[in-house]
Amino acid sequence: MRLVSAGLILMTSLVFAAAGDKLSALADFQAAAAKFNSVVTLPVFETTTNEVATTTAKTIADGNAALDRIGKLGDDQVKFKNTFVALDDLNFQISRASDRLALIEQTSTNADVRDAATDAMKRLSEWAVGIDYREDVYRALKNFAAIDPQLDGEDKKLFDDTLRDYRRAGLELPKAQRDEVEKLRKELTALETDFESNVTKARAELKFSKAQLAGVPEEFLAQKGIKTGDDEYTLKANITFHYIMVEDNAQLEATRRRMMTAQCNLAREANIPLLQKILVLRDSIATKLGYQTYADFATETRMVKNGTAAIQFLQNLKDGLQPKYDAELKEFRLLKTAETGDTNAVINSWDWRYFANQLKKTKYNVDAEQLRVYFPYQNVLDGMFKIYQRIFGLKFERVEAPYKWVDDLQLYTVSDAKTGEPMGLFYLDMFPRDGKYNHFAQFGIIEGKLLPDGKYQRPVCCLVCNFPPPQPDKPSLLSHDEVETIFHEFGHAMHTILTRAKYSRFAGTSVPQDFVEAPSQMLENWPWDKKVLDSFAADYRDPKKKIPQEILSQLKAARLATEATRYRRQLSFGLMDLTLHTQIHATNADDLVPLSNKILSDVSFPVPPDTAFVAYFGHIIGYGAGYYGYAWADAIAADMATVFEKSPDGFFDKTTGMRMRNEIYAVGDSRDINVSIEKFLGRPRSIEPFLKRIGVAPAK
Ligand SMILES: [Zn+2]
């Protein structure tokens, strides 16, 4: 790995020389880092299939050599640094390669390179499973543990969590069983990678006539790639904003139904057999390790602690929302009856978005599409940057990226506003293109870490988004939802960049999975605040025009008016995920589609006939029995937001922002997350703000 790093420095300096002055800002930034005993490294991205293969081979070879060094330590040679810390050093190097490859897999403009990255990720994750089963390494760690070392703080947590990982990998089991767990885990990771890449690759092109798309905004239909013939429009069920445009606006029920059915069948053929195998393998691994269910295994290291508690949490919310949910459905039915004349109208899964949108337009006078004029992309971005710089005490500066995988890629430096200390870098890859990841996410590229030489590696990350591209006659205009999304995703970037954890396993967003969304979910409150909006949102045709207070109030009322429907849908995903990870075993894998459809239909709307939504639900892999975490974290987020709301400067409050930066972002997972949350809140947690927000009456 050291050779790769040396190559990396060399390559960047060559590019510097070639590109001249424009890059000097970046060079200055790197030089400033040295003054703070830290390092800012520009990732060097693989651009050919060969480079991808070389990186993979090298990562594995260097990793094996590092493991050998730990494994060879004699009983009297073991120290904290050459065992537990050395393992963290190794994991840091592996994720440095695999994080970069994961980003390339989702963003490269070359399909062969994307495929090569998928293969590389598969090879790396299969190999990484084997790390857990290096008995020589485990023996060295146990030898050090046998000394009964007196550790505290982050060191103690590294020690405890590492040993817990080995126990969870099966290292305390008799050899035959442990070998079996290792074999199953390797099979599992390969299948997981395939499932996720099938989700990314899934395509469904639907052709419609103008009449079939009645109600869908003209401007959207006029876009390049959508109008494909005289009276032919091509929409893709796999592109989220195409899907939402139709579901929100198409007046013909048959059109909405066709789009939704296509989406709910994406990746079905390929992924259902895979998911059956995945769930059976997960179940079997968990049982062999002594857990009742995979849900219990997966939640042990999270805030919720076990599967039963997670199911109970969602079930309580489902029941609590029932009265409001019934009332919302009644309103939708009235609208559908008024529109169709059918007094027995039923709201189907493909109807609710449309009637929720109609309700917003008719009862609350809110037309989501018309609000876009207030949110030109660049103004939103600049306005958001101003707020985050202010509350977290930071300075962002745009610099020229030495290498860009797309022309409009942007790179920014982040430094502490007071001291000038370089904190890290972020890239922005903001508009859709063919073959690119089709949601919104923050990708870590280099994690924070105290390096063996005593310097601190500052982090680098990238936002990968799909905002509407600018048009010849007007800028990219965001919906209010998309404004919320960018506030959310950029929050993850802050979490990554502002870390001060010593060990990479605790750095940035590496916090318990049912907490990781909370800080970003909290930041979704910002674009609902009048003062926040007034600081950047203005009609692009006439910047003097701000969003009127009454529109904002109506927007809030409209949100609350459909919140139970939206939330029940979230809960249906969470309960489906937990149930599959509790109830699917080797004997009933064929129940996968019927069982998942049943839960979705019970908790939210009945699914379209003959569909298998679960095949396209990528979170079933990455979050494995963890989707409940959205609701769990939402509860914490609503609680945390009240701290800002009650502070003198509200959502602009610097003192509260700095407390957030220091107690949550900087600390990461280096101490118990419950402690960090309470330190930020300044009091114990409360679920009341959350219940109030989603419209559940307070418990009596
Ligand atoms: Zn998120």
CA distances from 622 to 107, 189, 298 (A): 19, 11, 11
* C-alpha 60 to ligand 1 mean position (Å): 30
* C-alpha 49 to ligand 1 mean position (Å): 30
18-27, 250-259, 274-283, 679-688: segment of lowest average pLDDT: 18-27
Question: Is residue 5 scored above 60 in pLDDT?
Answer: no
- H or E segment at 442? strand 441-446
Report pLDDT for 218. 93
* C-alpha 263 to ligand 1 mean position (Å): 22
* C-alpha 198 to ligand 1 mean position (Å): 22
Report pLDDT for 125. 87
**Encoded amino acid at 20, one letter:** G
Q: What is the phi/psi pair of residue 159, to 5°? A: -60, -55
Tens digit of each residue's pLDDT (9 = 90 or more) over 129-140: 899 999 999 999
Indicate the pTM of the whole model: 0.89
Question: Is residue 55 scored above 50 in pLDDT?
Answer: yes
Vertex 89 angle, CA 87 and 94, to 5°: 95
* C-alpha 177 to ligand 1 mean position (Å): 37
* Tokens describing residue 185: 């885990």
Q: Rounded distance, CA 59 to CA 65, Å? A: 10
Provide the terminal-to-terminal Cα distance of the chain, rounded to the nearest Å: 59
Report pLDDT for 223. 86
Report pLDDT for 10. 30
* C-alpha 516 to ligand 1 mean position (Å): 8
Report pLDDT for 575. 98
CA distances from 398 to 103, 155, 444, 488 (A): 21, 36, 19, 21
Q: Rounded distance, CA 432 to CA 466, Å? A: 5
Question: Is residue 56 scored above 80 in pLDDT?
Answer: yes
| Strands 441-446 and 460-464, bridge-based pairing | antiparallel
Q: Rounded distance, CA 337 to CA 584, Å? A: 40
Report pLDDT for 669. 98
Q: In which band, very low, low, confident or very high, does the pLDDT at 122 lie, cut at 50, 70 and 90?
A: confident
* C-alpha 477 to ligand 1 mean position (Å): 22
Q: Rounded distance, CA 403 to CA 426, Å? A: 13
* C-alpha 638 to ligand 1 mean position (Å): 15
* C-alpha 489 to ligand 1 mean position (Å): 6
Tens digit of each residue's pLDDT (9 = 90 or more) over 508-533: 999 999 999 999 999 999 999 999 99
Mean pLDDT in residue range 143-164:
97
Tens digit of each residue's pLDDT (9 = 90 or more) over 58-96: 999 999 999 999 999 999 999 999 999 999 999 999 999
Q: Rounded distance, CA 534 to CA 476, Å? A: 19
Q: Rounded distance, CA 188 to CA 193, Å? A: 9
- The more confident residue out of 455 and 12 is 455
> Which residues, in sequence order, are CB contacts of 700 under 8 Å at separation 6+?
none
Please, are residues 464 and 106 in contact by the beta-carbon 8 Å criterion?
Answer: yes
Report pLDDT for 24. 80
* C-alpha 493 to ligand 1 mean position (Å): 10
* C-alpha 237 to ligand 1 mean position (Å): 22
Report pLDDT for 126. 87
DSSP 3-state of 236: strand
Q: Rounded distance, CA 423 to CA 493, Å? A: 11
Tens digit of each residue's pLDDT (9 = 90 or more) over 542-553: 999 999 999 899
Report pLDDT for 197. 87
Q: Rounded distance, CA 461 to CA 447, Å? A: 8
Q: Rounded distance, CA 229 to CA 234, Å? A: 9
Q: What is the phi/psi pair of residue 464, to 5°? A: -115, 110
* C-alpha 663 to ligand 1 mean position (Å): 19
Tens digit of each residue's pLDDT (9 = 90 or more) over 185-219: 999 998 998 999 899 889 999 999 999 999 999 98
Q: Rounded distance, CA 447 to CA 94, Å? A: 11
Q: In which band, very low, low, confident or very high, does the pLDDT at 168 lie, cut at 50, 70 and 90?
A: very high
Tens digit of each residue's pLDDT (9 = 90 or more) over 439-449: 899 999 999 99
Q: Rounded distance, CA 411 to CA 428, Å? A: 6
* Tokens describing residue 493: 């970037």
C-alpha closest to that of 493 among 461, 450, 519, 541: 461
Report pLDDT for 700. 52
* C-alpha 278 to ligand 1 mean position (Å): 24
Q: Rounded distance, CA 612 to CA 597, Å? A: 7
* C-alpha 2 to ligand 1 mean position (Å): 33
* C-alpha 442 to ligand 1 mean position (Å): 8
> Which residues, in sequence order, are CB contacts of 112 under 8 Å at separation 6+?
49
Report pLDDT for 23. 63
Report pLDDT for 16. 37
Tens digit of each residue's pLDDT (9 = 90 or more) over 398-426: 999 999 999 999 999 999 999 999 999 99
- Give residue for tokens 């508009």: 431
Report pLDDT for 698. 64
Task: Count CB-CB contacts under 10 A for residue 609.
Answer: 9
Q: Which DSSP string corresponds to 115-184?
A: HHHHHHHHHHHHHHHHHTT-HHHHHHHHHHHHT-----HHHHHHHHHHHHHHHHHTTTS-HHHHHHHHHH
Please, are residues 380 and 641 in contact by the beta-carbon 8 Å criterion?
Answer: no
Mean pLDDT in residue range 447-471:
96
* C-alpha 517 to ligand 1 mean position (Å): 5
Q: In which band, very low, low, confident or very high, does the pLDDT at 654 lie, cut at 50, 70 and 90?
A: very high
Please, are residues 94 and 60 in contact by the beta-carbon 8 Å criterion?
Answer: no
* C-alpha 75 to ligand 1 mean position (Å): 44
As a whole-number percent, the residues of the chain with pLDDT over 70 amount to 96
Report pLDDT for 6. 26
* Tokens describing residue 599: 């839960």
Catalytic residue numbers, as ranges: 489
* C-alpha 488 to ligand 1 mean position (Å): 6
Q: In which band, very low, low, confident or very high, does the pLDDT at 11 lie, cut at 50, 70 and 90?
A: very low
Q: Rounded distance, CA 481 to CA 547, Å? A: 15
C-alpha closest to that of 321 among 574, 513, 677: 574
Question: Is residue 8 scored above 70 in pLDDT?
Answer: no
Using CA atoms in the order 101, 107, 109, 114, what is the torsion angle rounded to 10 degrees?
40
DSSP state of 425: E
Report pLDDT for 22. 54
C-alpha closest to that of 197 among 274, 95, 129, 263: 274
* Tokens describing residue 355: 């009637």
Average pLDDT, the chain: 94
Question: Is residue 637 scored above 50 in pLDDT?
Answer: yes
Tens digit of each residue's pLDDT (9 = 90 or more) over 370-403: 899 999 999 999 999 999 999 999 999 999 999 9
* C-alpha 634 to ligand 1 mean position (Å): 11
Q: Rounded distance, CA 487 to CA 375, Å? A: 13
* C-alpha 299 to ligand 1 mean position (Å): 19
Report pLDDT for 532. 98
Report pLDDT for 2. 23
Report pLDDT for 699. 57
* C-alpha 371 to ligand 1 mean position (Å): 24
433-442, 451-460, 666-675: segment of lowest average pLDDT: 433-442
- 283-291 long-range CB contacts below 8 Å, 24 or more apart? 283/581, 283/584, 283/585, 283/586, 284/184, 284/586, 285/181, 285/184, 285/185, 285/188, 288/170, 288/173, 288/177, 288/180, 288/181, 288/184, 289/168, 289/170, 289/173, 289/181
